[in-house]
Amino acid sequence: MPQEYVIFLLDDGVYPDSLNQNRFYKKIPQNAIFEQICMDATLNCDQREAVNTLSGPLLVLAGAGSGKTRVVTVRIAKLIDTGISPRRILAMTFTNKAAQEMQKRIASMISTHRENQPEISTFHSLCVRILRRQIHNLGYPNNFSILDASDQNSICRKVLREIRVSDASLKPRDLLYHIGQWKSRGISPKIATRDADTDREHLAAVAFRRYQDELTRCGTVDFDDLLLLTSVLFRDYPEVRENEADRFDHILVDEYQDTNDIQYSIVKSLSQKHRNLCVVGDDDQSIYGFRGSDVRHILNFASDWPGAKTIRLEANYRSTEAILEVSNRLIRFNANRYDKVLKAARAGGQKPRIEQFGDEEHESKQVVTSIRRDLESNGRQPSDIAILFRTNEQPRLFETELRKFDIPYVLLGSHSFYDRKEIKDLVAYLRVIHHADDEPSMRRIINNPPRGISANSVSALVEIATQRGVSLWQVMLDNEALQTLKVPARMSIRNFIETIRSLQQTFSENLELSTFHSFLSAIQYKKEVLRNSEDEAETEQRWASVEEMANVFGAYLGRKRKPTLESFLEEIALAESDFDDDKDDQLDRNAVALLTLHASKGLEFPVVYMVGLEEGLLPHGRAVAAEGPAIDEERRLAYVGVTRAQDELTLSLSLTRRKWGRVQEQNPSRFLFEMIGQADNPHDAVVKRETETTNH
Ligand code: ATP
Ligand code: MG
């Protein structure tokens, strides 16, 4: 029987010099625990070296499935084992789900006190926590709210209307895209205006300034701001940077190849002093170029951090040799990369299948037929299987087929839950209760359910707010401003203010499930559900969403020792932004996973179907038009996809596909030819010539 080893820490999280003298502690000799860790998670020689390099800058640069994430996890356990207080360790992962997974694995290796856990989070959640402590330095309230995509969209619509830009010249969605691009590169409205090349860009830059003013006026931030404002704080307020950096002695970053300039500067600010920075990643899996991630950060790590140790892992434990052969062959077609050795630890295996169909309906039917076979005759579980695709339009047909045969599935990377009207309304209410200046939320709920506050009244108040540079809520509280409205509207606003205030009181007390029920009745939300439903069935369906929200709240209460409305809203905002709030479902519900290649990063499945391997889809049409580096990025995406498979891989394509209703011919993806060795690899030729020369 393996013994259970436990490290207890004092509440303040400090280890005394001599552990044995303290009655609060029971600690097993270090080596014993570490041997235990190694038993749980076998490590090869190079992985062991990485795990045992406990200080200074460390880079683990290695191919897919080589155990990088495992190294990060075990290294954290090892750090704790050597006596470093868990809460002095910060690890960054790419998604919330990955963070939870890592937390669980560490907990299975080593026990720590509840209060003293390593901080494992995404960049965004880390930044939320930093900003909650520090954002007042930038003139925002510390209880700022975080906007979601639809709020951002409505603000874009509003500012474009104000500067009289028609939809034809610039759509809100396009403006948002520009803003995202600028923000992820740290470009301010001022610089954007200065550098605008075209009229359209100039318009967008002007709108960007207004958009940003609108956000500051309401004390709200968008998702990109979380990172951007943190880096601005660190740049302009050295004492803030030092305070935040002093919280940790060790920093670890997974998927480092996908950090953008801002994330890079945040990591740098936090690690500069202690230099205990361990990053792991794979340049071949850098797939977020469109969000400003820059593979040079990982490639320049050694020169960036003098004295850095670089470790390479060369064994792939995930996929069979047959699958690895195909993925290795594919990625060698990329021009600018570190050539890495990646050998299969699992010899042999089934050759990947390539299947070609007449149209996309046949493709989906056959893939699902094959999945049924996997389930019925091959002993697979639904959760062993994934369907990977490039674009969001692709999964629909697969969903239809899976439904037809009652095969449970989850669509990952879809935000459907938080996109439902009921959920959006309720979240908006909660956000107003928490931070009444949150204007997009206020506008959403002020007359929802209808309470006699017309759109005209709201516009009149918003106009006053904009003139005065204050929020809508501030104007609502101002009796003089309300005089501009008719008496019934004025009365309704006053009642509404009362409701919000009393809910603020309710939510500031102890949070319980009953709080949610009082909230629902106070806002009379059932009325809104009835109003929007055509029949009983619809009412039931909409009410089910409301119930689901109560479930989300209940689950949150169950998880938190000190639940607050603020942290509940934070969890929602972060889950929404993530690709993976449904990933838990896949495990819980044992369902087939349907996910985009982007969302598949870091995951693994025994059986993978990668579909739509066609020119124009993978590589994406935009990349085909641009050629060059854009194609290389698509190839990395394809590489990420292929390397998710553990035992079986099927690549499929369709020779025709409907576009805007019309049937069009499709060509097989160039990546297919590359994978099966039917394309000339210019880089192989170069390598060969070089070897020939050295042989002479
Ligand atoms: P990716 O690049 O896709 O993120 P990764 O390098 O992070 O992959 P992991 O996910 O850590 O790789 O590991 C891949 C698989 O190999 C996991 O199932 C992991 O448990 C297993 N693995 C890692 N190291 C070893 C080892 N030394 N022995 C056996 N299995 C291992
Ligand atoms: Mg990984």
- Reported as a pLDDT band with limits 50, 70 and 90, residue 41 is low
Q: In this model, does residue 556 exceed pLDDT 70? A: yes
- Reported as a pLDDT band with limits 50, 70 and 90, residue 427 is very high
Alpha-carbon torsion 245, 251, 254, 260, what sign?
positive
Q: Which residue has the higher pLDDT, 492 or 23?
A: 492
Q: From the CB of 346, is ligand 1 less than 6 Å away? A: no
Q: By three-state DSSP, how is residue 118 classified? A: coil
- CB 603 within 8 Å of CB 101: no
Q: Which residue has the higher pLDDT, 101 or 229?
A: 229
Atom of ligand 1 nearest to the CA of 70: 11
- Catalytic residue from among 119, 249, 254, 633: 254
Which residue from 48, 70, 338 has its CB within 8 A of the most atoms of ligand 1, so it is best to mutate? 70
- Reported as a pLDDT band with limits 50, 70 and 90, residue 576 is low
Q: From the CB of 43, is ligand 1 less than 6 Å away? A: yes
Q: What is the pLDDT of residue 550?
A: 85
What would the pLDDT profile of 644-693 be if each residue is shown by its tens digit?
999 999 999 999 988 766 788 999 999 999 999 888 887 775 554 444 43
Query: Which of 174, 248, 238, 237 lies closest to 211, judged by CA?
Result: 174
Q: Which residue has the higher pLDDT, 393 or 71?
A: 71
Atom of ligand 1 nearest to the CA of 255: 4
Summarize the confidence of residues 500-524 as an average pLDDT. Answer: 93
- CB 582 within 8 Å of CB 414: yes
Tell me how far the alpha carbon of residue 65 lies from the centroid of ligand 1, in angstroms: 5
| Distance, CA of 273 to CA of 518 (rounded, Å) | 50
Q: From the CB of 68, is ligand 1 less than 6 Å away? A: yes
Summarize the confidence of residues 105-121 as an average pLDDT. Answer: 85
Which residue reads 């990172």 in tokens?
A: 227
Residue 336: phi, psi to the nearest 5? Answer: -95, 100
Angle, CA 66 vertex, CA 355 and CA 286 arms, to 5°: 70
Residue 689 is encoded by which pair of tokens?
Answer: 């010539």
- Catalytic residue from among 183, 424, 451, 644: 644
Per-residue burial over 490-524, b if 16 or more Cβ lie within 10 Å, else e, is: bebbeebeeebeebeebbeeebeeebbeebbeebe
DSSP, res 571: H
Per-residue burial over 634-660, b if 16 or more Cβ lie within 10 Å, else e, is: bbbbbbbbbbbbbbbbbbbbbbebeee
Percent of the chain with pLDDT over 90: 64
Which residue's alpha carbon is at the smallest distance from atom 2 of ligand 1? 64
Q: From the CB of 42, is ligand 1 less than 6 Å away? A: yes
Q: What is the pLDDT of residue 15?
A: 28
Q: What is the pLDDT of residue 416?
A: 57
Summarize the confidence of residues 582-605 as an average pLDDT. Answer: 78
Q: From the CB of 435, is ligand 1 less than 6 Å away? A: no
Active site residue 40: no
Tell me how far the alpha carbon of residue 547 lies from the centroid of ligand 2, in angstroms: 36
Residue 651: phi, psi to the nearest 5? Answer: -110, 130
**Which ligand has the shortest distance to the CA of 331?**
1
Q: What is the pLDDT of residue 417?
A: 65
Q: Chain-centre distance of CA 156, in angstroms?
A: 23
| Distance, CA of 283 to CA of 18 (rounded, Å) | 44
Amino acid at 276: N
Active site residue 674: no
Q: What is the pLDDT of residue 453?
A: 93
Q: From the CB of 515, is ligand 1 less than 6 Å away? A: no
Summarize the confidence of residues 464-479 as an average pLDDT. Answer: 93
Which residue reads 């010899």 in tokens?
A: 347
Q: From the CB of 338, is ligand 1 less than 6 Å away? A: no
Strand pairing partners for 610? 388, 651
Residue 593 is encoded by which pair of tokens?
Answer: 């996973």
| Distance, CA of 237 to CA of 245 (rounded, Å) | 12
Q: From the CB of 282, is ligand 1 less than 6 Å away? A: yes
- CB 259 within 8 Å of CB 253: yes
Q: At what angle do helices 421-434 and 536-559 cross, to 10 degrees?
A: 40
Q: From the CB of 616, is ligand 1 less than 6 Å away? A: no
Q: In this model, does residue 419 exceed pLDDT 90? A: no
DSSP, res 679: S
Tell me how far the alpha carbon of residue 69 lies from the centroid of ligand 2, in angstroms: 4
- CB 616 within 8 Å of CB 624: yes
Which residue's alpha carbon is at the smallest distance from atom 28 of ligand 1? 42
H or E stretch covering 387: strand 385-389
Active site residue 69: yes
Residue 359 is encoded by which pair of tokens?
Answer: 């149209």
DSSP string, 208-242: HHHHHHHHHHTTEE-HHHHHHHHHHHHHH-HHHHH
Tell me how far the alpha carbon of residue 319 lies from the centroid of ligand 1, in angstroms: 10
| Distance, CA of 141 to CA of 470 (rounded, Å) | 13
What would the pLDDT profile of 432-465 be if each residue is shown by its tens digit?
999 999 998 999 999 999 999 999 999 999 999 9
What would the pLDDT profile of 308-356 be if each residue is shown by its tens digit?
999 999 999 999 999 999 999 999 999 888 888 899 999 999 999 999 9
Q: What is the pLDDT of residue 691?
A: 41
Atom of ligand 1 nearest to the CA of 63: 2
Q: From the CB of 382, is ligand 1 less than 6 Å away? A: no
CA end-to-end distance (rounded Å), the chain: 60
Tally the residues of the chain: 696
Residue 5 is encoded by which pair of tokens?
Answer: 């080893």
Tell me how far the alpha carbon of residue 268 lies from the centroid of ligand 1, in angstroms: 27
Summarize the confidence of residues 279-303 as an average pLDDT. Answer: 92
Tell me how far the alpha carbon of residue 218 lies from the centroid of ligand 2, in angstroms: 39
Query: Which of 253, 258, 299 lies closest to 277, judged by CA?
Result: 253
What would the pLDDT profile of 79-88 be if each residue is shown by its tens digit?
999 999 999 9
Q: From the CB of 47, is ligand 1 less than 6 Å away? A: yes
Q: Chain-centre distance of CA 118, in angstroms?
A: 20
Question: Which residues of 539-590 form beta strands (DSSP E)?
Answer: none
Q: What Å distances lie between residue 681 and 282, 334, 357, 636, 651, CA to CA?
A: 21, 9, 27, 16, 21
- Reported as a pLDDT band with limits 50, 70 and 90, residue 569 is very high
Atom of ligand 1 nearest to the CA of 313: 6
H or E stretch covering 261: helix 261-271
DSSP string, 398-457: HHHHHHHTT--EEETT--HHHHSHHHHHHHHHHHHHH-TT-HHHHHHHTTSS--S--HHH
Q: In this model, does residue 35 exceed pLDDT 80? A: no
- Catalytic residue from among 225, 255, 570, 580: 255
Q: What is the pLDDT of residue 686?
A: 54
| Distance, CA of 523 to CA of 377 (rounded, Å) | 53
Tell me how far the alpha carbon of residue 277 lies from the centroid of ligand 1, in angstroms: 21
645-654 vs 656-659, strand pairing mode: unpaired
Summarize the confidence of residues 275-303 as an average pLDDT. Answer: 92
Q: From the CB of 284, is ligand 1 less than 6 Å away? A: no
Tell me how far the alpha carbon of residue 94 lies from the centroid of ligand 2, in angstroms: 10
| Distance, CA of 306 to CA of 311 (rounded, Å) | 15
| Distance, CA of 131 to CA of 240 (rounded, Å) | 10
CA torsion 71-602-582-385 (nearest 10°) is -110
Alpha helices in 273-320 (DSSP H): 296-299, 301-304
Active site residue 190: no
**Which ligand has the shortest distance to the CA of 644?**
1
Which domains does the chain possess? 6-132+229-313 (3.40.50.300), 148-221 (1.10.10.160), 319-408+590-695 (3.40.50.300), 417-575 (1.10.486.10)
- CB 286 within 8 Å of CB 63: no
Active site residue 254: yes
Residue 561 is encoded by which pair of tokens?
Answer: 């020792």
| Distance, CA of 393 to CA of 147 (rounded, Å) | 26
Tell me how far the alpha carbon of residue 150 lies from the centroid of ligand 1, in angstroms: 38
Tell me how far the alpha carbon of residue 67 lies from the centroid of ligand 2, in angstroms: 7
Q: What is the pLDDT of residue 693?
A: 39
Q: From the CB of 281, is ligand 1 less than 6 Å away? A: no
- Enter the pTM of the model: 0.79
> Which segment of 295-299, 419-423, 526-530, 534-538 scores lowest on mean pLDDT?
534-538
Give 281: exposed, middle or buried? Use CB within 10 Å, 0-12, 13-18, 19+. buried
Alpha-carbon torsion 368, 402, 149, 234, what sign?
negative
Q: What is the pLDDT of residue 588?
A: 56
- Reported as a pLDDT band with limits 50, 70 and 90, residue 72 is very high
Which residue reads 């303290």 in tokens?
A: 22
Please give the radius of gyration of the chain, using alpha carbons only, rounded to the nearest integer: 27
Q: From the CB of 143, is ligand 1 less than 6 Å away? A: no
Q: By three-state DSSP, how is residue 378 classified? A: coil
Q: What Å distances lie between residue 311 and 71, 75, 222, 276, 299, CA to CA?
A: 11, 14, 37, 15, 13
| Distance, CA of 267 to CA of 553 (rounded, Å) | 33
Q: In this model, does residue 22 exceed pLDDT 50? A: no
What would the pLDDT profile of 4-17 be if each residue is shown by its tens digit?
222 222 222 222 23
Around Cβ 272, how many Cβ atoms within 10 Å? 13
- CB 619 within 8 Å of CB 420: no
Which residue from 44, 60, 61, 69 has its CB within 8 A of the most atoms of ligand 1, so it is best to mutate? 69
Q: In this model, does residue 163 exceed pLDDT 70? A: yes
